[in-house]
């Protein structure tokens, strides 16, 4: 039986879950520009009213990746450090610093990100200020990764299909499923991932969807203080994914030897301060609260990459961050 848009919208109106085929059809039409704005808005509103599930999110991710610019020639382990954003904390660019330290240590990093939306300074803004190109073409990604261990994939450049939904999201003015899709849409398909989630109620949804993407090992966390990153303010809760299995986990910085700080200690006021602080951190000279938070997230990434247990990785990360970048992955 042929699936129609009207049938899917009627199903959502009744609060019923969609099948894989129904969700795939709608997201494909949405990202190909075949849905009018009224139907697109009704679809996104219907999903939220029903309550988004992993079928919906996985279909959105499949469509997003299918419509993304494809990257050839990638192989071997590669990691991304990315959060959903939306925590409203105006904190420094922790995940960006972590990604550069990882690359400096010899790990392949495929950083997927955008300019600031809810933060003081987005990863694209910060990296651009450090001289990192935002214009790496798909056919050049593998070579750039091989030469420097780091490549930045500027989300708008790799997801041109999202132009079809931008006006709808703007007109709606509310959270939709697309607010959670960013960290799942890396076109370089990372094999390992540290994924921060600002809404603790979405951890399970994000984890179930990430399982469907084929990631080998990943840590999904909601950090203390409401952050979409690990923080030194208290324990983070989430899930660890390894070889197709997802288990609940808690990361307690106190037990890993990190000093406790307050959220105010990692705030920055605007892009200029964010970039200045990032430069200091990359030279091993940043504020202690920020240096500790970077080391904690770096330790988690090393653990995800199989470099040891969290305790061992924490000691390694603290020592490395203190010394700053050694191998010139960027110019500070």
The CATH number covering residue 178 comes to 3.40.1030.10
Average pLDDT, the chain: 94
In a domain, 167, yes or no: no
Query: How many domains in the chain?
Result: 2
- Ranking 7-16, 173-182, 246-255 by mean pLDDT, the lowest is 173-182
Instruction: pLDDT band for 57, please (50, 70, 90 cuts).
Output: very high
Question: How much is the pLDDT for 122?
Answer: 87
**Same domain for 289 and 266:** yes
In a domain, 166, yes or no: no
**Same domain for 180 and 31:** no
**How far apart, in whole angstroms, are the C-alpha atoms of residue 21 and residue 273?**
47
- Taking residues 7-16, report their average pLDDT: 96
Query: In the chain, what percentage of residues exceed pLDDT 70?
Result: 97
Question: How much is the pLDDT for 178?
Answer: 87
**Same domain for 225 and 85:** yes
- Taking residues 145-159, report their average pLDDT: 96
Question: How much is the pLDDT for 259?
Answer: 95
Do 48 and 39 touch, CB atoms closer than 8 A?
Answer: no
Question: How much is the pLDDT for 44?
Answer: 96
Question: How much is the pLDDT for 88?
Answer: 67
**Same domain for 136 and 19:** no
193: left (phi over 0), alpha (psi -120 to 50) or beta: beta
- Beta bridge partner(s), residue 326: none
Instruction: pLDDT band for 119, please (50, 70, 90 cuts).
Output: low
Rg (CA), the chain: 20
In a domain, 332, yes or no: no
- Residue position matching structure tokens 């247990």: 309
**Same domain for 192 and 124:** yes
Cβ partners under 8 Å of residue 139, min gap 6: 72, 73
- What's the distance, CA 175 to chain centroid? 17
Do 121 and 321 touch, CB atoms closer than 8 A?
Answer: no
In a domain, 330, yes or no: no
Do 82 and 196 touch, CB atoms closer than 8 A?
Answer: yes
**How far apart, in whole angstroms, are the C-alpha atoms of residue 22 and residue 42?**
15
Question: How much is the pLDDT for 306?
Answer: 98
Question: How much is the pLDDT for 87?
Answer: 63
**Same domain for 127 and 274:** yes
Domain that holds residue 25: 5-66
**How far apart, in whole angstroms, are the C-alpha atoms of residue 46 and residue 14?**
9
**Same domain for 311 and 288:** yes
Cβ partners under 8 Å of residue 49, min gap 6: 12, 15
Instruction: For the beta carbon of residue 218, count every other beta carbon within 10 angstroms.
Output: 25
Higher pLDDT residue, 86 or 260?
260
**How far apart, in whole angstroms, are the C-alpha atoms of residue 243 and residue 74?**
20
Question: How much is the pLDDT for 191?
Answer: 97
| pLDDT tens-digit readout, 185-225 | 999 999 999 999 999 999 999 999 998 888 999 999 999 99
**Same domain for 85 and 44:** no
Instruction: pLDDT band for 80, please (50, 70, 90 cuts).
Output: very high
Q: Is 168 helix (H, G, I), strand (E, B) or coil?
A: helix
- Taking residues 277-298, report their average pLDDT: 98
Question: How much is the pLDDT for 232?
Answer: 97
| pLDDT tens-digit readout, 82-117 | 888 766 678 999 999 999 999 999 999 999 998 866
Question: How much is the pLDDT for 84?
Answer: 87
- Beta bridge partner(s), residue 247: 240
- Taking residues 9-20, report their average pLDDT: 96
Q: What is the CATH number of the domain that holds 31?
A: 1.20.970.10
On the question of pLDDT at 305 being above 60, the answer is: yes
**How far apart, in whole angstroms, are the C-alpha atoms of residue 97 and residue 85?**
16
In a domain, 305, yes or no: yes
In a domain, 328, yes or no: no
**Same domain for 87 and 184:** yes
Question: How much is the pLDDT for 141?
Answer: 98
In a domain, 183, yes or no: yes
- Taking residues 317-325, report their average pLDDT: 98
On the question of pLDDT at 118 being above 80, the answer is: no
- Taking residues 35-55, report their average pLDDT: 94
């Amino acid at each position: 039986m042929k699936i129609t848009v009207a049938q899917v919208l009627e199903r959502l109106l009744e609060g019923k879950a969609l099948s894989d085929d129904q969700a795939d059809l709608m997201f494909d039409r949405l990202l190909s520009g075949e849905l009018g704005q009224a139907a697109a808005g009704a679809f996104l509103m219907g999903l939220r009213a029903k309550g988004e599930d992993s079928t919906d999110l996985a279909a959105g991710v499949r469509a997003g990746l299918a419509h993304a610019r494809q990257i050839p020639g990638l192989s071997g382990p590669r990691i991304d450090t990315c959060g959903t954003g939306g925590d409203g904390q105006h904190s420094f660019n922790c995940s960006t610093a972590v990604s550069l330290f990882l690359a400096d240590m010899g790990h392949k990093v495929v950083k997927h990100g955008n300019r600031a939306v809810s933060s003081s300074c987005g990863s694209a803004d910060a990296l651009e200020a450090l001289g990192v190109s935002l214009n790496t073409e798909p056919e050049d990604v593998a070579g750039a990764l091989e030469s420097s261990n780091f490549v930045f994939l500027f989300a708008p450049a790799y997801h041109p299909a999202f132009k079809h939904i931008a006006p709808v999201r703007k007109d709606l003015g509310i959270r939709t499923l697309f607010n959670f899709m960013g960290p799942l849409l890396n076109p370089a398909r990372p094999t390992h991932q540290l994924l921060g989630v600002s809404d603790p109620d979405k951890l399970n949804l994000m984890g179930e969807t990430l399982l469907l993407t084929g990631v080998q090992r990943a840590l999904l966390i909601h950090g203390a203080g409401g952050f979409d990153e690990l923080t030194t303010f208290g324990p983070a809760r989430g899930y660890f994914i390894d070889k197709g299995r997802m288990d609940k986990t808690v990361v307690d910085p106190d037990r890993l030897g990190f000093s406790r700080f307050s959220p105010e200690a990692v705030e920055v006021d605007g892009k200029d301060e964010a970039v200045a602080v990032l430069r200091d951190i990359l030279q091993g000279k940043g504020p202690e609260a920020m240096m500790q938070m970077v080391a904690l997230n770096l330790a988690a990434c090393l653990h995800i990459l199989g470099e040891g247990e969290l305790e061992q990785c924490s000691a390694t990360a603290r020592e490395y961050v203190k010394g700053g970048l050694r191998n010139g992955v960027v110019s500070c």
